[in-house]
Structure 1
Amino acid sequence: MGVSTGSAQNRYSTGAMVFHWVIAIAVIANWRIAAVAEHASETDAAYWMGHHKALGISILALSILRLLWRLAHPVPAMPNSYATWEKMLARTVHFIFYVLLIGLPIGGWLGVSLFGGNVDMWGLFTLPGLPVGEARETGKAIIGLHKTGGEIFIYLIALHIIGALKHTFWNKDGTLFRMLPFGKPNR
């Protein structure tokens, strides 16, 4: 790990950093996989959706582990320079992130289950459908909500990135470095 010039109390733990960046990359990759599937032929769409489902379940597992990690490892306090509304917005967006990181994969799995399907985890094993019975119309509605939730997630990710960049480069308070093993996070 690189040399840290910031105080450990101002920085997230190494485990939190690893979970953050792995999940962030997986979520963005899964969003792009879904977009490719949406514009692909029926055969190719099934192939890509197989990857989307498996990566979604992986994101669910990682998110549960991340949440457990967070409960056991307190997060650093937000910088004193944040306005009250910025602190409230950051907390709200992070809470919604956890809801979506857990809810979207479960919703997708539920939708697939309502079509009588299961989730193939890249040929390693298969997660059976949830025991909900087959109800295609309900499955369509759940998948529709899943898609809408995914779109909301992407907008919130953009807001999160803009906020981190604003604080790091405009306010120069080192916010981005709180989630990186290098640089100087400020209080």
Structure 2
Amino acid sequence: MVVNATNRTRYSVVAMLFHWTIAVLVILNWRLAENAHHAKGAAGAALMGDHKAFGILILVLTLGRLLWRLGHPVPPLPTNYANWEKIVARTTHVIFYVLLIALPLGAWIANSLGGRSIDFFGWFTIPPLPIGQNKGLSREIFELHGTFGMILIYLVGLHILGALKHTFFDKDGGIFRMLPFGKVAGE
């Protein structure tokens, strides 16, 4: 594998670990929220508590990934990508980062407006932000949180379809850019 940042075809192993960990947690967290909405009483509250804790974990990991990215440039997009594909890829990644930060922060703000702290898997409690209470605004932010959470899931689907297209139709090994194995075009 070539180490020069301008000639690399794959992401670094650390970037791969961030990517796949965050990806799994986002899908898990979406399922937790869906299950919490269908559960009743204490079971629903427990699922939602886990959803909130995983949201904070996703926020921390996303910030870590961004910090890592500052010192470790990503490999350039393959030259076989059409201009529209490059625009879609870059735009999708920017929206991913915005949502992966805004969704947990928005939920923390909404919890704070509702006067609720966030339990982090029983290890510690994240207190409400010092912003006062406004239950109406809290509900509105949670509604936006749900809407933008679904947008994130649709974006995940688009991202997966793009990776599969590049891997199996274009045969350029697109998915292997984010895996430590497999053949990537240009290697």
Q: Secondary structure at the match of 1:22?
A: helix
2:161 corresponds in structure 1 to 162
Q: How does 1:35-50 map to 2 (within 5 A)?
A: 35-50=34-49
1:153 aligns with 2:152: yes
Deviation readout 1:95-119 (Å, 9 max, x if unpaired): 0000001000000111111110010
Note the residue ranges of structure 2 that are not aligned, 5 or more in a row.
Answer: none
Q: What is the TM-score of this pair, normalised by structure 2?
A: 0.95
Q: Using the alignment, how far apart are the partners of 1:87 and 1:7 within structure 2?
A: 22
1:24 aligns with 2:23: yes
1:55 aligns with 2:29: no
CA shift at 1:42, angstroms? 2.4
Structure 1 counterpart of 2:88, which letter? L
1:93 aligns with 2:92: yes
Q: Using the alignment, how far apart are the partners of 1:73 and 1:42 within structure 2?
A: 46
Q: What is the TM-score of this pair, normalised by structure 1?
A: 0.95
Q: 1 or 2 for the larger relative contact order (CA 8 Å, sep ≥6)?
A: 1
Q: CA RMSD in A?
A: 0.8
Q: Is the 8 A contact 1:7 1:185 kept in 2?
A: no
Percent identity (aligned): 56
Q: How does 1:1-187 map to 2 (within 5 A)?
A: 7-8=2-3, 9-187=8-186
Q: Using the alignment, how far apart are the partners of 2:48 and 2:2 within structure 1?
A: 43
Stretches (4+) displaced over 4 A: none
1:3 corresponds in structure 2 to none
Q: Using the alignment, how far apart are the partners of 1:181 and 1:153 within structure 2?
A: 25
Q: Using the alignment, how far apart are the partners of 1:186 and 1:102 within structure 2?
A: 32
Aligned length: 182
Structure 2 counterpart of 1:12, which letter? Y
Q: Using the alignment, how far apart are the partners of 1:109 and 1:160 within structure 2?
A: 27
Q: Secondary structure at the match of 1:10?
A: coil
Q: Using the alignment, how far apart are the partners of 2:41 and 2:128 within structure 1?
A: 22
CA shift at 1:7, angstroms? 4.3
Q: Using the alignment, how far apart are the partners of 1:17 and 1:112 within structure 2?
A: 32
Structure 1 counterpart of 2:59, which letter? L
CA shift at 1:132, angstroms? 1.1
Q: Using the alignment, how far apart are the partners of 1:166 and 1:145 within structure 2?
A: 31
CA shift at 1:185, angstroms? 1.1
Q: Using the alignment, how far apart are the partners of 2:171 and 2:130 within structure 1?
A: 51
